[in-house]
Structure 1
Amino acid sequence: MDEARHSPNPSEITALRAELPPQQGNTGQWGQTSQDKTWKYLCFFVSLILLLTVIILSVILSEVLKRTQQVQEKVLQLNEKVTQGLGDAGHDRDFIRSEVFRQMKAVLAGNESSCEPCPLDWKFFQGSCYFFSLDNLTWTQANDSCVQKQAHLVIINSRTEQVGHVES
């Protein structure tokens, strides 16, 4: 027994080869069964499908991000337009307010027209300004005088219009 426990001399080493009984099923090279190969192929195809899925999702995600950025740019543009529109509306409101005050001032001054107040020495009546001249002129001379004042020579037939001017 002592001899069996002693360490072998390198020149005394012999090789042993053992034959293993074959496993059930077909064995391929390296002792793999066809079931092992099936699992390897299945894992390979599942990995390939997962890789393709990741690639496809990456492409879709990049498109979604691009469209999101485009939508954000459009939202910014619309915000700028709304801000500009609100500013314009504020200016319009201020203009309308000043116009209302101007109209009120004209009404209080006795000139109810929507135009500028009548010039000095002119009389306002029912939306028009009238100038009464005390000069004794012919029709042609009176018409020329009106043209110089950028006005029209009129004949007043209405008693109300005649009285309104005299009382003003």
Structure 2
Amino acid sequence: MMERLFERFLFASRWLLAPFYAALTIGLLVLLVKLIQEIGHFATHALEWNESQTILGVLTLVDLSFTASLLIIVMFSGYENFVSKFDHSDHKDWPTWMGTIDFSGLKLKLMSSIVAISAIQLLKAFMDMKSYTDRELAWYVGIHMVFVVSGILMALTDRLSAGHHET
């Protein structure tokens, strides 16, 4: 009896995660504000910028969209994996990937997104090399490589773990 009550209590505690996923919506709104700010900056300087500055502006927009997409993936997949399933029967435009990403897939998508965001930051730094010291560029490359290697190791670990569970 006591064990059953304790298990129900633990199971119900998953709802404590719901405010965390709701808070990510605020992060999404902040990114939207930054996007609008960047679009305004991009549009007002479009005629005076050279090609390199224009590419940097576009990369900033891509970076913001990757980060926003990452938030959506974490919000929906995390909620579905740890809190409760969505009832998507009322939504005819429900994305097919939602509800199919398990925790392992979520980790890999998260790591892939971080690597992509890091790569964009690195590309932005290389496009504007005159603004960075060699040491700063080396740190950008080093940090990016840590993300890449971490992603590869995470994927290998998941693959090995999946192979181990199949036997």
TM-score by length of 1: 0.26
Q: Name which one, 1 or 2, has greater alpha-carbon Rg.
A: 1
Higher helix share: 2
Q: Which structure carries more relative contact order (alpha carbon 8 Å, separation 6+)?
A: 2
